[in-house]
Amino acid sequence: MKVLVVGTGGRDHAIAWKFTQSPRVSRVYVAHGNAGIAETADCVNLKTIEEMADFAQKERIDLTFVGPEKPLSAGIADLFASRGLPIIGPDKKASRLESSKCDAKVIMRELGIPAPEFENFTEPGKARDYIRSVGYPVVVKADGLAAGKGSLVCESVQEAEDAVRSIMEEQIFGDAGARVDIEKRLYGRELSFFCFTDGYTIIPMVAAQDYKRARDNDEGKNTGGMGSYSPHPWLDDALVKTIMSKVAEPLIRGVREKYDILYRGILYLGLMLVESGTEVIPYVLEVNIRLGDPEAQVILPRLRTDLVDISEAITTGRLDRIKPEWDPDYRLCLIGASGPTKGKKGWYKGYPDRYKIGVPIDGVDRIDKKCLVFHSGTEKNASGQLVTTGGRVLCIVSSGSTLKQARETALSEMAKVRFEGIYYRKDIGLE
Protein backbone atom coordinates (compact mmCIF):
# COMPACT_ATOMS: atom_id res chain seq x y z
CA MET A 1 0.00 0.00 0.00
CA LYS A 2 0.94 3.66 -0.39
CA VAL A 3 0.95 6.10 2.53
CA LEU A 4 0.98 9.90 2.57
CA VAL A 5 2.28 11.70 5.68
CA VAL A 6 1.52 15.40 6.08
CA GLY A 7 4.17 17.47 7.87
CA THR A 8 7.67 18.93 7.85
CA GLY A 9 9.06 18.43 11.34
CA GLY A 10 10.69 15.87 13.60
CA ARG A 11 7.40 14.29 14.62
CA ASP A 12 6.46 13.90 10.97
CA HIS A 13 9.86 12.38 10.17
CA ALA A 14 9.23 9.84 12.95
CA ILE A 15 5.78 9.02 11.57
CA ALA A 16 7.14 8.54 8.05
CA TRP A 17 9.98 6.39 9.38
CA LYS A 18 7.50 4.25 11.30
CA PHE A 19 5.46 3.57 8.18
CA THR A 20 8.60 2.53 6.28
CA GLN A 21 9.04 -0.22 8.91
CA SER A 22 5.74 -1.83 7.90
CA PRO A 23 5.88 -4.85 5.56
CA ARG A 24 2.50 -3.73 4.25
CA VAL A 25 3.80 -0.38 2.95
CA SER A 26 5.45 -0.18 -0.47
CA ARG A 27 5.92 3.59 -0.65
CA VAL A 28 5.75 6.56 1.71
CA TYR A 29 5.20 10.12 0.50
CA VAL A 30 5.55 13.19 2.72
CA ALA A 31 4.06 16.63 2.07
CA HIS A 32 6.25 18.46 2.04
CA GLY A 33 9.00 17.12 4.27
CA ASN A 34 12.57 18.29 4.82
CA ALA A 35 16.10 17.17 3.94
CA GLY A 36 16.15 14.38 6.52
CA ILE A 37 12.70 13.11 5.62
CA ALA A 38 13.81 13.01 1.97
CA GLU A 39 16.26 10.25 2.95
CA THR A 40 13.39 8.24 4.46
CA ALA A 41 10.53 8.85 2.03
CA ASP A 42 9.50 10.63 -1.16
CA CYS A 43 8.94 14.33 -0.44
CA VAL A 44 6.27 16.00 -2.56
CA ASN A 45 5.85 19.76 -2.77
CA LEU A 46 2.21 20.07 -1.75
CA LYS A 47 1.29 23.14 0.27
CA THR A 48 -2.52 23.34 0.38
CA ILE A 49 -4.93 20.69 1.61
CA GLU A 50 -6.58 20.74 -1.83
CA GLU A 51 -3.26 19.90 -3.49
CA MET A 52 -2.80 17.07 -1.01
CA ALA A 53 -6.26 15.65 -1.70
CA ASP A 54 -5.69 15.88 -5.47
CA PHE A 55 -2.38 14.06 -5.09
CA ALA A 56 -3.90 11.35 -2.90
CA GLN A 57 -6.61 10.75 -5.48
CA LYS A 58 -4.25 10.74 -8.45
CA GLU A 59 -1.68 8.45 -6.80
CA ARG A 60 -4.35 6.23 -5.21
CA ILE A 61 -2.98 6.74 -1.72
CA ASP A 62 -4.35 4.09 0.62
CA LEU A 63 -3.83 5.99 3.88
CA THR A 64 -2.96 9.55 4.90
CA PHE A 65 -1.62 10.40 8.35
CA VAL A 66 -1.57 14.05 9.44
CA GLY A 67 1.24 15.16 11.75
CA PRO A 68 0.68 18.87 12.58
CA GLU A 69 -2.42 20.66 13.83
CA LYS A 70 -2.77 23.37 11.16
CA PRO A 71 -3.96 21.15 8.28
CA LEU A 72 -6.43 19.47 10.64
CA SER A 73 -7.76 22.83 11.80
CA ALA A 74 -8.07 23.83 8.13
CA GLY A 75 -10.35 20.84 7.50
CA ILE A 76 -8.09 18.36 5.72
CA ALA A 77 -9.89 15.40 7.31
CA ASP A 78 -13.26 16.70 6.10
CA LEU A 79 -11.92 17.23 2.57
CA PHE A 80 -10.38 13.77 2.35
CA ALA A 81 -13.51 12.14 3.79
CA SER A 82 -15.65 13.91 1.16
CA ARG A 83 -13.54 12.22 -1.51
CA GLY A 84 -13.55 8.80 0.15
CA LEU A 85 -9.86 9.00 1.10
CA PRO A 86 -8.89 7.31 4.42
CA ILE A 87 -7.12 9.75 6.76
CA ILE A 88 -5.92 9.79 10.35
CA GLY A 89 -6.86 12.99 12.16
CA PRO A 90 -9.96 14.66 13.64
CA ASP A 91 -12.30 16.73 11.47
CA LYS A 92 -12.48 20.52 11.57
CA LYS A 93 -15.19 20.60 14.20
CA ALA A 94 -13.20 18.35 16.54
CA SER A 95 -10.05 20.33 15.83
CA ARG A 96 -11.50 23.28 17.77
CA LEU A 97 -10.31 21.43 20.86
CA GLU A 98 -6.81 22.56 19.92
CA SER A 99 -7.35 25.54 17.65
CA SER A 100 -9.35 27.34 20.36
CA LYS A 101 -8.08 27.03 23.93
CA CYS A 102 -11.06 29.10 25.04
CA ASP A 103 -13.63 26.83 23.41
CA ALA A 104 -11.84 23.74 24.73
CA LYS A 105 -12.03 25.01 28.33
CA VAL A 106 -15.76 25.73 27.96
CA ILE A 107 -16.28 22.18 26.68
CA MET A 108 -14.36 20.76 29.66
CA ARG A 109 -16.55 22.74 32.02
CA GLU A 110 -19.78 21.69 30.30
CA LEU A 111 -18.74 18.01 30.33
CA GLY A 112 -17.66 18.10 33.98
CA ILE A 113 -14.03 17.28 33.17
CA PRO A 114 -11.46 18.66 35.66
CA ALA A 115 -9.92 21.93 34.41
CA PRO A 116 -8.38 24.97 36.13
CA GLU A 117 -10.65 27.87 37.07
CA PHE A 118 -10.72 30.12 34.01
CA GLU A 119 -12.37 32.95 32.13
CA ASN A 120 -12.10 33.99 28.47
CA PHE A 121 -11.67 37.54 27.24
CA THR A 122 -11.70 39.51 23.99
CA GLU A 123 -11.04 42.91 25.63
CA PRO A 124 -7.63 43.60 27.23
CA GLY A 125 -9.08 45.94 29.85
CA LYS A 126 -11.54 43.35 31.15
CA ALA A 127 -8.77 40.73 31.14
CA ARG A 128 -6.60 42.96 33.33
CA ASP A 129 -9.52 43.67 35.67
CA TYR A 130 -10.05 39.93 36.10
CA ILE A 131 -6.35 39.34 36.84
CA ARG A 132 -6.42 41.99 39.58
CA SER A 133 -9.64 40.56 41.05
CA VAL A 134 -8.72 36.88 41.45
CA GLY A 135 -5.73 37.24 43.74
CA TYR A 136 -3.85 34.15 42.62
CA PRO A 137 -1.13 33.42 39.99
CA VAL A 138 -2.49 32.78 36.51
CA VAL A 139 -1.50 31.47 33.10
CA VAL A 140 -2.42 33.65 30.12
CA LYS A 141 -2.99 31.72 26.90
CA ALA A 142 -3.51 32.90 23.34
CA ASP A 143 -6.73 31.31 22.12
CA GLY A 144 -5.46 30.14 18.74
CA LEU A 145 -2.57 28.09 17.40
CA ALA A 146 0.86 29.39 18.41
CA ALA A 147 3.27 26.51 17.68
CA GLY A 148 3.25 25.34 21.28
CA LYS A 149 4.45 28.71 22.61
CA GLY A 150 1.20 30.56 23.27
CA SER A 151 1.02 30.04 27.06
CA LEU A 152 2.67 32.56 29.39
CA VAL A 153 3.04 31.38 32.98
CA CYS A 154 2.91 34.36 35.33
CA GLU A 155 4.30 34.78 38.84
CA SER A 156 2.61 38.09 39.66
CA VAL A 157 -0.24 40.41 38.73
CA GLN A 158 2.22 42.63 36.86
CA GLU A 159 3.56 39.71 34.83
CA ALA A 160 0.02 38.67 33.95
CA GLU A 161 -0.94 42.18 32.88
CA ASP A 162 2.22 42.32 30.76
CA ALA A 163 1.23 38.98 29.21
CA VAL A 164 -2.18 40.36 28.25
CA ARG A 165 -0.52 43.38 26.65
CA SER A 166 1.98 41.21 24.75
CA ILE A 167 -0.62 38.76 23.48
CA MET A 168 -3.65 40.95 22.85
CA GLU A 169 -2.20 44.38 22.07
CA GLU A 170 1.30 43.74 20.74
CA GLN A 171 0.02 40.53 19.09
CA ILE A 172 3.23 38.54 19.59
CA PHE A 173 1.29 35.45 18.45
CA GLY A 174 -0.62 37.26 15.71
CA ASP A 175 -4.35 36.67 15.34
CA ALA A 176 -4.11 33.74 17.76
CA GLY A 177 -4.12 36.33 20.56
CA ALA A 178 -7.37 38.10 19.63
CA ARG A 179 -8.93 36.18 22.52
CA VAL A 180 -7.25 34.87 25.67
CA ASP A 181 -7.91 32.16 28.19
CA ILE A 182 -6.84 33.22 31.68
CA GLU A 183 -6.70 30.32 34.09
CA LYS A 184 -5.60 29.66 37.63
CA ARG A 185 -2.04 28.43 37.80
CA LEU A 186 -1.94 24.91 39.20
CA TYR A 187 0.96 23.24 40.96
CA GLY A 188 1.64 19.56 40.63
CA ARG A 189 3.16 17.13 38.16
CA GLU A 190 2.71 17.83 34.46
CA LEU A 191 2.00 14.99 32.06
CA SER A 192 1.47 14.54 28.33
CA PHE A 193 -0.99 11.69 27.80
CA PHE A 194 -1.62 10.19 24.35
CA CYS A 195 -4.37 7.90 23.06
CA PHE A 196 -5.52 6.28 19.85
CA THR A 197 -9.29 6.55 19.34
CA ASP A 198 -11.88 5.72 16.71
CA GLY A 199 -14.53 7.82 18.46
CA TYR A 200 -15.74 4.97 20.66
CA THR A 201 -12.76 2.87 21.73
CA ILE A 202 -9.83 4.69 23.35
CA ILE A 203 -6.43 3.04 23.76
CA PRO A 204 -3.74 4.81 25.80
CA MET A 205 -0.22 4.88 24.41
CA VAL A 206 2.92 4.66 26.49
CA ALA A 207 3.75 8.06 27.91
CA ALA A 208 6.77 10.31 27.47
CA GLN A 209 8.38 12.90 29.70
CA ASP A 210 9.02 16.06 27.71
CA TYR A 211 10.95 19.26 28.41
CA LYS A 212 9.49 22.58 27.28
CA ARG A 213 11.92 25.15 28.68
CA ALA A 214 14.81 26.22 26.48
CA ARG A 215 17.63 25.76 28.97
CA ASP A 216 18.91 23.33 31.59
CA ASN A 217 17.16 23.14 34.96
CA ASP A 218 13.90 24.17 33.26
CA GLU A 219 15.10 27.73 32.80
CA GLY A 220 14.52 30.02 29.84
CA LYS A 221 11.46 30.51 27.66
CA ASN A 222 8.87 27.94 26.70
CA THR A 223 9.62 26.15 23.42
CA GLY A 224 7.89 23.55 21.32
CA GLY A 225 10.02 20.98 23.16
CA MET A 226 13.74 20.44 23.75
CA GLY A 227 13.73 16.70 24.40
CA SER A 228 11.83 13.74 25.81
CA TYR A 229 12.15 10.20 26.99
CA SER A 230 9.98 7.12 27.47
CA PRO A 231 8.96 5.10 29.54
CA HIS A 232 7.62 7.79 31.83
CA PRO A 233 9.18 7.79 35.33
CA TRP A 234 6.05 7.74 37.49
CA LEU A 235 2.99 6.97 35.35
CA ASP A 236 1.62 3.64 36.61
CA ASP A 237 -1.44 1.54 35.73
CA ALA A 238 -3.55 3.03 38.51
CA LEU A 239 -2.89 6.57 37.30
CA VAL A 240 -3.62 5.58 33.70
CA LYS A 241 -6.97 4.21 34.87
CA THR A 242 -7.73 7.47 36.69
CA ILE A 243 -6.91 9.61 33.64
CA MET A 244 -8.94 7.39 31.32
CA SER A 245 -12.02 7.39 33.59
CA LYS A 246 -11.94 11.07 34.57
CA VAL A 247 -10.73 12.70 31.34
CA ALA A 248 -10.20 10.66 28.16
CA GLU A 249 -13.37 8.57 28.20
CA PRO A 250 -15.80 11.33 29.27
CA LEU A 251 -14.23 13.69 26.73
CA ILE A 252 -14.53 11.38 23.72
CA ARG A 253 -17.99 10.19 24.78
CA GLY A 254 -19.08 13.71 25.70
CA VAL A 255 -18.11 15.41 22.43
CA ARG A 256 -19.83 12.56 20.55
CA GLU A 257 -23.08 12.66 22.50
CA LYS A 258 -23.37 16.38 23.37
CA TYR A 259 -21.70 18.03 20.37
CA ASP A 260 -22.16 15.38 17.66
CA ILE A 261 -18.38 15.12 17.17
CA LEU A 262 -16.97 11.72 16.26
CA TYR A 263 -13.37 12.22 17.29
CA ARG A 264 -11.08 9.89 15.32
CA GLY A 265 -7.30 9.92 15.39
CA ILE A 266 -4.84 10.89 18.11
CA LEU A 267 -5.89 12.48 21.39
CA TYR A 268 -3.15 14.35 23.27
CA LEU A 269 -4.02 15.58 26.76
CA GLY A 270 -1.81 18.10 28.52
CA LEU A 271 -2.49 17.44 32.20
CA MET A 272 -1.54 18.78 35.61
CA LEU A 273 -1.81 16.09 38.27
CA VAL A 274 -2.72 17.66 41.60
CA GLU A 275 -2.84 15.74 44.86
CA SER A 276 -5.99 16.27 46.92
CA GLY A 277 -5.77 14.24 50.09
CA THR A 278 -5.29 10.63 49.00
CA GLU A 279 -6.65 11.37 45.52
CA VAL A 280 -4.85 12.57 42.39
CA ILE A 281 -6.94 14.85 40.19
CA PRO A 282 -5.91 15.12 36.50
CA TYR A 283 -6.70 18.69 35.43
CA VAL A 284 -6.77 19.40 31.69
CA LEU A 285 -4.42 22.24 30.79
CA GLU A 286 -4.82 21.73 27.04
CA VAL A 287 -6.13 19.33 24.43
CA ASN A 288 -4.14 18.66 21.27
CA ILE A 289 -5.40 16.77 18.26
CA ARG A 290 -2.21 15.05 17.12
CA LEU A 291 0.99 13.43 18.31
CA GLY A 292 3.37 15.64 20.26
CA ASP A 293 6.77 16.79 19.13
CA PRO A 294 9.20 15.57 20.52
CA GLU A 295 7.10 12.92 22.29
CA ALA A 296 6.34 11.08 19.04
CA GLN A 297 10.07 10.61 18.47
CA VAL A 298 10.33 8.37 21.55
CA ILE A 299 6.85 6.80 21.53
CA LEU A 300 6.77 5.54 17.93
CA PRO A 301 10.14 3.72 18.11
CA ARG A 302 8.73 1.76 21.06
CA LEU A 303 5.60 0.71 19.15
CA ARG A 304 5.91 -2.92 18.03
CA THR A 305 2.44 -3.15 16.50
CA ASP A 306 2.21 -2.12 12.85
CA LEU A 307 1.03 1.50 12.63
CA VAL A 308 -0.87 0.58 9.48
CA ASP A 309 -2.98 -1.93 11.43
CA ILE A 310 -3.76 0.66 14.09
CA SER A 311 -4.55 3.33 11.49
CA GLU A 312 -6.94 1.06 9.60
CA ALA A 313 -8.69 0.14 12.84
CA ILE A 314 -9.20 3.85 13.55
CA THR A 315 -10.60 4.68 10.11
CA THR A 316 -12.96 1.66 10.09
CA GLY A 317 -14.14 1.97 13.69
CA ARG A 318 -12.59 -1.34 14.76
CA LEU A 319 -10.01 -0.17 17.27
CA ASP A 320 -11.50 -2.51 19.87
CA ARG A 321 -9.77 -5.35 18.00
CA ILE A 322 -6.27 -3.89 18.50
CA LYS A 323 -3.95 -4.44 21.46
CA PRO A 324 -0.75 -2.48 20.81
CA GLU A 325 2.53 -3.98 21.97
CA TRP A 326 5.42 -1.84 23.19
CA ASP A 327 9.18 -2.28 23.48
CA PRO A 328 10.13 -1.94 27.18
CA ASP A 329 13.56 -0.36 26.48
CA TYR A 330 14.13 3.36 27.00
CA ARG A 331 14.18 5.89 24.18
CA LEU A 332 15.58 9.39 24.69
CA CYS A 333 15.24 12.29 22.27
CA LEU A 334 17.72 15.17 22.33
CA ILE A 335 16.93 18.25 20.24
CA GLY A 336 19.72 20.26 18.62
CA ALA A 337 18.48 23.85 18.26
CA SER A 338 19.59 27.11 16.65
CA GLY A 339 21.23 29.20 19.37
CA PRO A 340 22.78 32.68 19.50
CA THR A 341 24.60 33.65 16.29
CA LYS A 342 25.90 36.89 14.87
CA GLY A 343 24.27 38.34 11.77
CA LYS A 344 24.90 41.36 9.57
CA LYS A 345 22.70 43.56 11.78
CA GLY A 346 23.69 42.21 15.17
CA TRP A 347 22.99 39.09 17.20
CA TYR A 348 20.22 36.57 16.79
CA LYS A 349 19.08 35.45 20.25
CA GLY A 350 18.29 31.97 18.97
CA TYR A 351 15.32 29.65 19.39
CA PRO A 352 12.63 30.22 20.62
CA ASP A 353 13.41 33.83 19.70
CA ARG A 354 14.70 34.94 16.28
CA TYR A 355 17.34 32.64 14.82
CA LYS A 356 19.61 32.51 11.80
CA ILE A 357 18.89 30.06 8.96
CA GLY A 358 20.99 28.65 6.16
CA VAL A 359 23.73 27.67 8.60
CA PRO A 360 25.80 24.66 7.36
CA ILE A 361 25.45 21.44 9.37
CA ASP A 362 28.23 18.85 9.67
CA GLY A 363 28.70 15.57 11.47
CA VAL A 364 25.30 13.96 10.98
CA ASP A 365 26.88 11.19 8.92
CA ARG A 366 29.09 10.27 11.89
CA ILE A 367 26.20 9.50 14.25
CA ASP A 368 26.02 5.85 15.35
CA LYS A 369 23.61 3.91 13.12
CA LYS A 370 22.02 2.41 16.23
CA CYS A 371 20.56 5.86 16.90
CA LEU A 372 17.70 7.44 14.96
CA VAL A 373 18.08 10.95 13.56
CA PHE A 374 14.87 12.88 12.90
CA HIS A 375 15.09 16.26 11.19
CA SER A 376 12.91 19.25 12.12
CA GLY A 377 14.39 22.23 10.26
CA THR A 378 16.84 21.27 7.52
CA GLU A 379 17.25 21.47 3.77
CA LYS A 380 19.97 21.03 1.16
CA ASN A 381 21.32 24.25 -0.33
CA ALA A 382 22.29 24.77 -3.97
CA SER A 383 25.65 23.08 -3.32
CA GLY A 384 24.04 20.04 -1.70
CA GLN A 385 25.16 21.08 1.80
CA LEU A 386 22.79 20.31 4.68
CA VAL A 387 21.74 23.63 6.29
CA THR A 388 19.39 24.86 9.00
CA THR A 389 15.90 26.19 8.24
CA GLY A 390 14.33 26.21 11.69
CA GLY A 391 14.73 26.80 15.39
CA ARG A 392 14.64 23.13 16.22
CA VAL A 393 17.04 21.65 13.69
CA LEU A 394 17.25 17.91 14.31
CA CYS A 395 17.11 15.35 17.08
CA ILE A 396 18.94 12.18 18.04
CA VAL A 397 16.90 9.33 19.48
CA SER A 398 18.93 6.79 21.44
CA SER A 399 17.91 3.58 23.15
CA GLY A 400 19.06 1.72 26.23
CA SER A 401 18.01 -0.77 28.87
CA THR A 402 18.29 2.08 31.37
CA LEU A 403 17.53 5.78 31.13
CA LYS A 404 21.13 6.60 32.05
CA GLN A 405 22.44 4.49 29.19
CA ALA A 406 20.10 6.11 26.67
CA ARG A 407 20.99 9.57 27.98
CA GLU A 408 24.76 9.07 27.77
CA THR A 409 24.47 7.72 24.22
CA ALA A 410 22.39 10.66 22.99
CA LEU A 411 24.78 13.22 24.49
CA SER A 412 27.88 11.56 23.05
CA GLU A 413 26.31 11.32 19.59
CA MET A 414 24.98 14.89 19.60
CA ALA A 415 28.52 16.08 20.34
CA LYS A 416 29.43 14.94 16.81
CA VAL A 417 27.00 17.40 15.20
CA ARG A 418 28.33 20.84 14.30
CA PHE A 419 26.68 24.04 13.20
CA GLU A 420 27.13 27.64 14.29
CA GLY A 421 25.18 28.39 17.46
CA ILE A 422 24.07 24.82 18.15
CA TYR A 423 22.72 24.29 21.64
CA TYR A 424 20.93 21.47 23.40
CA ARG A 425 19.92 20.72 26.93
CA LYS A 426 22.37 18.58 28.89
CA ASP A 427 19.82 17.51 31.51
CA ILE A 428 17.31 15.58 29.38
CA GLY A 429 16.72 12.34 31.27
CA LEU A 430 18.72 13.46 34.29
CA GLU A 431 16.20 12.51 36.95
pLDDT of residue 221: 87
Within its chain, how far is the Cα of 349 from the centroid? 24
Alpha-carbon distances, residue 417 vs 187, 226, 319, 337, 423 (angstroms): 37, 16, 41, 11, 10
Three-class SS state of 274: strand
Q: Which fold has domain 118-184?
A: Dna Ligase; domain 1 (3.30.1490)
Angle, in degrees to the nearest 10, between helices 124-134 and 157-164: 160
Phi, psi of 224, deg, nearest 5: -75, -10
Q: What is the pTM of this model?
A: 0.95
β-strand partners of 280: 275
Contacts of 170 (CB under 8 A, 6+ apart): none
d(CA 393, CA 414): 12
Q: Which of 66, 67, 111 is nearest to 296 (CA)?
A: 67
Class of domain 330-423: alpha beta
- Distance, CA of 206 to CA of 319 (rounded, Å): 17
Decide yes or no: CATH 3.50.50.60 for domain 2-91.
Answer: no
187-321 has CATH 2.60.40.10 classification: no
| Cα distances (angstroms) measured from residue 17 to each of 125, 167, 372 | 48, 37, 10
Q: Do residues 430 and 407 touch, judged by C-beta distance below 8 A?
A: yes
**Residue 415 CB burial class (10 angstroms; 0-12, 13-18, ≥19):** exposed
Rounded Cα distance, 20 and 198, in Å: 23
pLDDT of residue 146: 84
Find all residues with CB under 8 Å of 178, minimum gap 6, and list them: 122, 143, 144, 168
- C-alpha closest to that of 145 among 9, 288, 14, 340: 288
CB 342 within 8 A of CB 426: no
Could you say which DSSP state residue 110 is in? H
Pairing assessment for the beta strands 279-288 and 209-215 based on DSSP bridges: unpaired
The pLDDT value given to residue 343: 84
Domain extents for the chain? 2-91, 118-184, 187-321, 330-423
Residue pLDDT tens, the chain, 431 long: 999 999 999 999 999 999 999 999 999 999 999 999 999 999 999 999 999 999 999 999 999 999 999 999 999 999 999 999 999 999 999 999 999 999 999 999 999 999 999 999 999 999 999 999 998 999 999 999 887 678 899 999 999 999 999 999 999 999 999 999 999 999 999 999 999 999 999 999 999 999 999 999 999 988 889 999 999 999 999 999 999 999 999 999 999 999 999 999 999 999 999 998 889 999 999 999 999 999 999 999 999 999 999 999 999 999 999 999 999 999 999 999 999 998 888 899 999 999 999 999 999 999 999 999 999 999 999 999 999 999 999 999 999 999 999 999 999 999 999 999 999 999 999 97
* Crossing angle for the helix pair 249-259 and 101-111, to the nearest 10 degrees: 90
Classified as helix, coil or strand, 315 is: helix
